[in-house]
Amino acid sequence: MRDINVGHKFLADYQSIIFKDLMTEIRELAAPLQGRRVLHVNATSFGGGVAEILYTLLPLMNDVGLQAEWQVLTADNEFFNVTKSFHNGLQGAPVELTGKVRSTYEDVNRRNAAQLSGHYDFVVIHDPQPCAMRAWTATDGEAATRWIWRCHIDTSTPDRALYDYLLPFIRRYDRAIYTMADYAPDGLGIPLEVVPPAIDPLAPKNMTLVPDDAHYIVRQFGIDVDRPLLLQVSRFDPWKDPLGVVDAYRLVKARWPEVQLALIGSMASDDPEGWEYLEKLHRYVGGDPDVYVLSNLDNIGSVEVNAFQSHAAVVLQKSTREGFGLTVSEGLWKARPVVAGNVGGIPLQIEDGVTGFLVDSSAACAERCLEILDRPEWARSMARKGKEHVREHFLTPRLLRDYLRIFNELLADGA
Ligand code: UDP
C-alpha cells in the first residue's frame, strides 16, 4: 500500500458557489464525527474519475474535522490486467475466471491487506480492484471499523460468474454505495446507499478560465481557435467509444469543413489496455490534420483539460457504458453544450434537449453537434441551465455531505 498526500482545501472557500443550506447541513453532520479516522483505498492515484474525486473529497473531510487518509494498492501489471477484465466483466463483457486469475486477484488483495495498520473508524474501498482486501483484515471487536464498498461502475448486467465470485467479498462490507440504485444487481445482501459522484469547482480542472487564457493554452497544441472544436476527454477505452466520436466528427465535417476534433485521454497505470487502444485510434484517425489525439504524455494536465473544455464548441462524451461520467459535469460546469451517450449515469446530468443532448449513435451525435454549431446562442443558453443543474447536484460539497450522513448512520446503527 502506498500513501497519497492530498494537501489542504477549505470548505469555506466553496461558500459563494454552493447553497447556504448545504453548508449548514455539512457542519451539523460533521459535528459528531470530529477526530474520526477514515481510510480510502483505490487502485490508482492518477487517471480516471476515482482519483479525481479523492483529491478533493479527502482534504474537505479533513477540513471539517475528520482524519482522512488515502492509500493506493501496490500491484504489478498482471494484477491490473486481471482487474481490467473484472471492470469490463462487471459492465457485461465475458470474463475468463481461471484459477490463475483468481489467485492473482486474491494474492494482491491479501498482501495489501496485511500492510494495513492502525485503527480506522471507516474504511472506504473503491471499485473491484481492492474489494477482496476486506476478507483478510481482522475485525476489531468493540472499536469496530465500518467497512464501505464504493462501486463506481454500472454493474447492472454483469458477467454472472464474475459477480458470483465477487459477491462473497462484497457481502463482508457494512454498506455498499452505488451511483444509481439499479446498478446493484439483485441479491446484493448488504444495505445499499445511492450516491452519485461530484466535481470540484475550485480544482485547476474546473476553476474559471477567461477565454483569452483558454485560447492561449489550446493554441499551444496546434488548435486553430477561430475554427470550431469538438472535444472528448476520456481514457482510451472502447466503452468511451472514441472511434464513434471520430465517425460523428466526419459526419459533421461533411457539412462544416472547418471543424476540428480533439481526443484527450490520460494513460492510467491500472489500464494496460489503454495503450493498445491508443494505437488503434491513431490508425482509425489516419493522419487527418484536424484531429488531435493528445494525452498526459503530451503534457496535458488539469489546467490544459480545463482550457480545452472551456474553449470547445461542443463537449462530447459518447460512451456506450458509463458509471457516471465526470467529464459531462465538467463540460456543463463550464457552460459548454454537451452531447453524450444516453447510458448509465449520464442522464442524471443531462436532461435531453434541456441541459444538453443524449444520443444513441454517431449519426445522432453528429446531428446534435450540427444543431449546436448552427445555433450557438441557443446552445449556450441550454448549457447555462446545465451549469445550474451541476451546481445543485454534482459539486463535491454535496458528496461530502452524503459521506458524512452515511458515517453518522453507520455509527447510529452500531454496525
Ligand atoms: N481525465 C483527465 N485527462 C485525461 C482524461 C481524463 O484529466 O486525459 C479526467 C477527466 O477530466 C475526468 C476523469 O479523468 O475528471 C474521468 O472520469 P470519468 O468519470 O469521466 O471516467 P472514468 O475514467 O472514471 O471512467
Find the 324 Cα to ligand 1 centroid distance in Å. 11
Contacts of 91 (CB under 8 A, 6+ apart): 153, 154, 155, 157, 158, 239, 321
Residue type for position 344: G
Position 266 scores a pLDDT of 79
Position 295 scores a pLDDT of 87
Cβ(305) – ligand 1 distance below 6 Å = yes
Strand order in the sheet with 67-72: 2-3, 67-72, 37-42, 122-126, 146-151, 175-178, 192-194
Position 252 scores a pLDDT of 98
Could you tell me the domains of the chain?
Answer: 2-198+395-413 (3.40.50.2000), 211-393 (3.40.50.2000)
The ligand 1 atom nearest the CA atom of 295: 8
Cβ(235) – ligand 1 distance below 6 Å = yes
Q: How many CB atoms lie within 10 A of CB 412?
A: 9
Q: What tens digit of pLDDT does each residue of 100-158 get?
A: 999 999 999 999 999 999 899 999 999 999 999 999 997 655 468 999 999 999 898 99
User: To test the ligand 1 pocket, which listed residue (305, 316, 318) has its Cβ within 8 A of the most ligand atoms?
Assistant: 305
Cβ(396) – ligand 1 distance below 6 Å = no
Cβ(278) – ligand 1 distance below 6 Å = no
Position 269 scores a pLDDT of 61
Q: What is the 3-state secondary structure (H, E, C) of 210-263?
A: CHHHHHHHHHCCCCCCCCCEEEEECCCCHHHCHHHHHHHHHHHHHHCCCCEEEE
The ligand 1 atom nearest the CA atom of 50: 24
Query: What is d(CA 42, CA 131) in angstroms, rounded to the nearest whole number?
Result: 9
Cβ(346) – ligand 1 distance below 6 Å = no
Find the 43 Cα to ligand 1 centroid distance in Å. 15
pTM beyond 0.85? yes
Find the 302 Cα to ligand 1 centroid distance in Å. 10
Position 33 scores a pLDDT of 98
Q: How many CB atoms lie within 10 A of CB 182?
A: 11
Q: How is the chain split among helix, strand and coil, in percent rounded to 5?
A: 50, 15, 35
Position 139 scores a pLDDT of 64
Cβ(330) – ligand 1 distance below 6 Å = yes
Q: What are the residues facing 44 on neighbouring strands?
A: none
User: To test the ligand 1 pocket, which listed residue (56, 87, 200, 233) has its Cβ within 8 A of the most ligand atoms?
Assistant: 233
Ranges of the chain whose pLDDT falls below 70: 139-143, 268-272, 415
User: To test the ligand 1 pocket, which listed residue (46, 52, 206) has its Cβ within 8 A of the most ligand atoms?
Assistant: 52
Cβ(264) – ligand 1 distance below 6 Å = yes
Q: What tens digit of pLDDT does each residue of 307-328 get?
A: 999 999 999 999 999 999 999 9
Find the 410 Cα to ligand 1 centroid distance in Å. 31
Cβ(339) – ligand 1 distance below 6 Å = no
Q: Is 67 helix (H, G, I), strand (E, B) or coil?
A: strand
Cell numbers describing residue 272: 494496460
Cβ atoms of residues 408 and 357 within 8 Å: no
Cβ(104) – ligand 1 distance below 6 Å = no
Position 140 scores a pLDDT of 58
Find the 138 Cα to ligand 1 centroid distance in Å. 34
Cβ(345) – ligand 1 distance below 6 Å = no
Cβ(130) – ligand 1 distance below 6 Å = no
